[in-house]
């Protein structure tokens, strides 16, 4: 039996549309992601006189999720060094970052979720994700929850 994948062996990297990237700091993990479906499409039910007839392919599904990491004890923003909240807010070293939004209007990133057990590896790529952050203060250390909504079809390897 193969070893299970665990957060201990994984990394999550946020990338812009050019050369900038940021590896999320350590944390308790707890990454979650919803809406992994066949064909990355919603199913639209068709009814005739209130009786179900079948389904047709709807719009692309969005994947939503979050991951919780520890808040590093450092300045929250920095013009010369990448900071987590700068990545989320497109500020600091990420102020000139290139969006992954095909229209170039909204700040969107690519999220790379890499998992390994030391032998086997897997990767999920979310190519066009909007991200937001929530900060929580706790006795054992402050954390940041990064929430995301991905709008383009993910890849799984």
Q: For residue range 98-129, what is the model confidence (pLDDT) as tens digits?
A: 999 999 999 999 999 998 887 888 999 999 99
* Whole-prediction pTM: 0.89
Say what the pLDDT of residue 2 is: 62
The percent of residues in the chain predicted with pLDDT above 70, rounded, is: 94
- Residue with token string 């799984």: 156
1 pLDDT higher than 60: no
User: For domain 7-35+46-156, which architecture applies?
Assistant: Roll (2.30)
- Per-residue pLDDT tens digits for 16-40: 999 999 998 876 667 889 999 999 9
Q: Provide the CB-side half-sphere exposure for 9 (13 A, CA).
A: 13
Output the pLDDT for position 11: 87
Which pLDDT value is given to residue 74? 79
Residues 6+ apart with CB under 8 A from 81: 92, 93
Under 8 Å between Cβ of 65 and 53: no
């Amino acid at each position: 039996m193969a070893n299970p994948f665990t957060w201990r062996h994984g990394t999550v990297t946020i990338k812009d549309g050019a050369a900038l990237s940021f590896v999320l700091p350590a944390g308790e993990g707890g990454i979650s992601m919803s809406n992994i479906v066949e064909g990355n499409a919603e199913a639209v039910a068709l009814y005739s006189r209130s009786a179900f007839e079948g389904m047709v392919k709807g719009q692309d599904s969005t994947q939503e999720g979050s991951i919780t990491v520890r808040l590093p004890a450092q300045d929250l923003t920095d013009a010369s060094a990448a900071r987590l909240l700068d990545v989320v807010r497109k500020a600091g070293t990420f102020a000139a970052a290139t969006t992954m939004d095909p229209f170039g209007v909204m700040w969107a990133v690519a999220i790379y979720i890499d998992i390994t057990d030391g032998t086997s590896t897997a990767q999920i790529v979310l190519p066009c994700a909007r991200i937001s952050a929530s900060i929580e203060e706790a006795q054992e250390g402050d954390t940041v929850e990064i929430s995301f909504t991905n709008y383009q079809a993910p890849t799984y390897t």
